[in-house]
Each structure stands twice: as structure tokens, then as C-alpha cells.
Amino acid sequence: MTQTTLLQPDTTENRVLAANVHPPGWINPEPAGRYNLVVIGGGTAGLVCAAGAAGLGARVALIERYLLGGDCLNVGCVPSKGVIRASRAVFDARTGGEFGVRGIKEVHADFGQAMERMRLLRAGISGHDSARRFRDELGVDVFIGQGSFSAPDLISVAGRELRFARAALCTGARAQAPPIPGLSEAGYLTNETVFSLTELPPRLAVIGAGPIGCELAQAFARLGSQVTLIAPQILGREDRDAAAILQEAMLREGIALELGAQVLSVETRGAEKLLRLERDARSFEVAADSILVGVGRAPNLEGLGLETAGIRYEKEGVTVSDTLRTSNPRVYAAGDICSAYKFTHMADAQARILIANALFRGRQKNSALTVPWCTYTDPEIAHVGMYEADAAARGIEVTTLTVPLSEVDRAVLDGESAGFARVHLRKGTDQMLGATLVARHAGEMISEFTLAISSGLGISAIGKAIHPYPTQAEAIKKLADAYNRSRLTPLVKRLLAAWLSWQRS
Ligand SMILES: Cc1cc2nc3c(=O)[nH]c(=O)nc-3n(C[C@H](O)[C@H](O)[C@H](O)COP(=O)(O)OP(=O)(O)OC[C@H]3O[C@@H](n4cnc5c(N)ncnc54)[C@H](O)[C@@H]3O)c2cc1C
């Protein structure tokens, strides 16, 4: 994969993007002596490290081989959410009849325009990550090229040697290719190529039902593809009740689910790709025009000279301590290259830890972070902290409270009552260990839990906060009410009754 393939099609929007994140004719600066921090990788983790350190007065160099902004801006969060938004507009128009919308005969998406809109918005957002902004506004030396360690305190890029006091390894991850016979020959899309499409694949087979597979399967189905989603199960790591709601929504929207099936091989017949599947010892075929693969991420470890720098790694990524230090004490890491949680906000949070620990001898710990995440399907599924199974694995007993959205007026009025709010409390206390939300805008609502958990506030604190009526966030308040009710033990009820009876006397 190169920046040229990442910037297809060659449109005005993509040229604006390129001018920001991989400017044609960019001249690398002369290295400026010893740097406080050299950052390899200009995705979220690298950009936050570089901007944060430079902002505090450090001498910083930033190295990016393809596109500044990394996955998130170019081939991840930003384009996917742009496409999802377009698909939701189509879905809402199509289902408008329920709300009395008339005059809509047959709604269909203009895929080309939806993708153009996404590219335009992505180009606009890219200014923030631009090479010129980093150089001119933030004072960072920006090098375009492949960075690689040539000694434990030296990194080479494009024929230059950069000496460092500290380095930040932020090289991220890429799509993993499953070893399916015939798949490479047939050709397939990943997140690196799917956002370059200009025409909708009439039939799309999606292999993998993690967040990326689920989000794009639903979006492409809404935009008009006939989608088949193939995976062991929907969102295998998520709360099972939450995943079940999404599964029902997908079936309702006409996505063919081949769950528990394994892809044995792929064959090309004319323009068609035939996927041979097996389930319960029975084999069958699925025909598609395109295949999208989303089966996990592989860390970008190659060509970095990690052995030369004495940096240990495994197939999951670079090995780091809880303070994000690698086995080379001068080198720290942040983001997808070392994190179990592969999210932009996690890359950002780790970059902040890195700056404190690498440059200012801080002792901030990765394990102290309270990490939320969200899958941007419809409904969205957002989670923070532990699942019940995590608590069980640590021998912690929990009380789980759930409020279905069918009990929340705003969700009912919005026609969005398929969902719930759930919290896991340490048994016998109001301490929240984890929470799951399934709602159309669950991602916007989860931060209330995150703030409470990270600040050590119990669910009683949420109960004290007035929530505007009618909002879907009232589901969270109702969880607090449920907790308060659970404290009304028979003894407390008897005492209250006695008190009230005495008042009447
Ligand atoms: C389709 C999709 C949707 C996503 N949606 C979301 C979402 O909605 N929310 C969310 O939080 N997360 C989302 N993510 C995950 C998110 O994109 C990543 O977690 C985030 O980009 C990680 O940032 P990073 O800086 O660690 O790595 P990256 O963004 O991968 O950046 C690493 C950079 O390092 C560069 N690099 C690698 N090796 C070298 C080298 N040797 N020399 C120079 N440069 C090098 C790469 O070119 C790349 O630009 C999504 C991911 C995908 C694929």
C-alpha cells in the first residue's frame, strides 16, 4: 500500500487531502542536532505526541511514510463515519413512511455522491493534520519517508540521520489478510481501498463482523448493496444482548447473515467471486461482486530496525511496560502498535501518557485509563470498563441493572426503542465497574459513565444529577433509580412505614 493507492480516485478533494497530508514536492528539513523527541508514524498517536511535545517547548521531529493523519483520518474513522452518515440519511428517508412522510416513492442512494461528500469533508478535516501546520504553526520538523532505527539512539529517514534523547514509536496497524485459498487471486477490499470506490458493488460479501465489518456491512446495505456478512458471530467481544439487538436490526434491513460459517476458498468465475463456505459440515456458495475483509489488525513492525534498537516485540505489537516504555529505555510507544484497544481516543490518551513519561520522567500508567468505545452501527453499541465476564474472571461479584429503551419516553417517541442501558456494580456497593449502552446515539451518551467511573463516582452521583426530560440519556438516570430502589430492603421499608404511620398519628 502506498500513498498513491490511498489517494484514489484522483479528484480535487483528494488532491487537497494530499496537499495537506503528503504534500507533493515536500522538502525534508535539515536535521537539527539532537531532538528531545523523534516520532515515527504520523497517525493520531504520533501527531498528538509531536504537537503536545512541541507545544511544551521540546525540539521534535515527526516522520511519516504515507499520509499524515494515519488510518483515522484517511482510511478509518473519518471516511467510515462520513459513509455511515450518508447511509443513515438514505435509511431514514426510506423508513419515513412510519412518521407520515409521504411522496417518497422509491428511495435510492447516489453512491458516487455519497462518497464525494465524504472525500470533501475528509479533505476539509485534513487541514488539522497537515504537514505545513505542523511545520509552520507548531515548529515540528516534518520528514516524509520510511523511518527506521540505525542505532539505539538514531533513526534514519530519507538519507538523513536523526539523533534523539527519546523516541516515540507510533507506527499503527493495518488490515490483516485471512489465509483463504484463492482470496488474493480474486482480489478483495480492505479499509485501505474501500473508501476509494466510486461505484457501489451490487453484491458485497463482508468477511468479519467486528466493529469495522458490522459498520460497513450495514452502511453498504443501506446504500443499496446486497450484503452477506460472514463471521463466527456478530461483535464477538461485545455484550451478547447488545450484539443480539444489532443482529436483529441487520436481519430486518435485509443483510444476509452467514454466522458460524467458515470461508474455505474463493474462486473467480467471470466477473463474479464465489465464496465456498462451510457450516456444520455442510458446504455452500455465496456469490459476490466484491469482497470486503475486516478480520483484525496487524501491527506495522516491518522495516523499523527494531532489533538494531533493542526493541522487543511480538506478533501482536511492540512490547511496552505499563508506562509505555519499550525494552529500549529511550524509546516509548503509543497507539495501535502497542495497544490492546485499537481506537483513536486510546491512541490520543496514550500519546499524552508518553509525553509525560518520556520527557518529564512521569510515572503515568496505561492501566489506569478508563477506556470507552463505540461501534457506530444503528443502533450504536457503546461500552466502558468491565463486562460481567471480566469481573467474573477477576473474582469480583457484580449486580447488573438494565433499563430497556422501551421504558424511556424519548426513545419511544423517536421510534428508537430497540436498545438498553446496562451497568455492572460491585455487589453491595454503588461502584460502577462497567456499562453498556445500545441506542442510536449511544456513543454520545457513554461519556457520562466514563466520567463517573474515571472520577470514582458511584451510580448514586448519577442519580443526583437532573437529566432533561425527554432525553434518551434518562435511561442512565433510570439505572440510578433502579439502584436506589434496590436499597429499599424489607427492613428499610418497614422502618419507613413505621415513620410515616407515626407522622399520621
Ligand atoms: C475502518 C476503520 C474505522 C475506524 N473507526 C474508528 C472509530 O470510529 N473510532 C475510533 O476510535 N477508532 C476507529 N478506528 C481505529 C483508529 O483508526 C486507530 O485506532 C487509530 O488510527 C490508531 O492510531 P495510530 O496513530 O496508533 O496508528 P495509525 O493511524 O495507523 O498511524 C500510524 C502511521 O504510522 C505510519 N508508519 C508506519 N510505519 C512507518 C515507518 N516505518 N515510518 C514512517 N511512518 C510509518 C503509517 O503510515 C501511519 O500513517 C477505525 C479503524 C478503521 C480501520
Of 486, 476, 488, nearest to 422 by C-alpha is 476
| Whether residue 70 has its Cβ less than 6 Å from ligand 1 | yes
Report whether 37 contacts 331 (CB < 8 A).
no
| Whether residue 40 has its Cβ less than 6 Å from ligand 1 | yes
Split at pLDDT 50, 70, 90, the class of 4 is low
Report whether 421 contacts 437 (CB < 8 A).
yes
| Whether residue 353 has its Cβ less than 6 Å from ligand 1 | no
- Taking only the tens place, the pLDDT of each residue in 172-198 is 999 998 999 999 999 999 999 999 999
| Whether residue 64 has its Cβ less than 6 Å from ligand 1 | yes
| Whether residue 328 has its Cβ less than 6 Å from ligand 1 | no
How far does the centroid of ligand 1 lie from the alpha carbon of residue 76, in Å?
7
Mean pLDDT of the chain: 96
How far does the centroid of ligand 1 lie from the alpha carbon of residue 408, in Å?
37
Cell of 152: 539505539
- Taking only the tens place, the pLDDT of each residue in 99-113 is 999 988 789 999 999
pLDDT at 5: 73
Strands 380-385 and 372-375: antiparallel
Those residues with Cβ within 8 angstroms of residue 129's Cβ, 6 or more apart along the chain or in another chain:
20, 21, 42, 47, 68, 69, 73
Split at pLDDT 50, 70, 90, the class of 488 is confident
- State what percent of residues in the chain have pLDDT above 90: 96
| Whether residue 347 has its Cβ less than 6 Å from ligand 1 | yes
- Taking only the tens place, the pLDDT of each residue in 315-342 is 999 999 999 999 999 999 999 999 999 9
- Taking only the tens place, the pLDDT of each residue in 376-391 is 999 999 999 999 999 9
CA distance 265 to 274: 8
Give yes or no for residue 359 having a pLDDT over 60. yes
CA distance 265 to 278: 10
Report whether 482 contacts 475 (CB < 8 A).
no
For atom 2 of ligand 1, the residue with the nearest CA is 76
Pocket test for ligand 1, best of 171, 295, 320 (most atoms within 8 A of CB): 171
For atom 5 of ligand 1, the residue with the nearest CA is 77
Q: At what angle do helices 211-223 and 240-252 cross, to 10 degrees?
A: 20
Pocket test for ligand 1, best of 77, 148, 308 (most atoms within 8 A of CB): 77
- Where is 174: in which H helix or E strand? strand 173-175
- Kindly report the backbone phi and psi dihedral angles of residue 395, in degrees, each rounded to the nearest multiple of 5, phi listed first: 70, 25
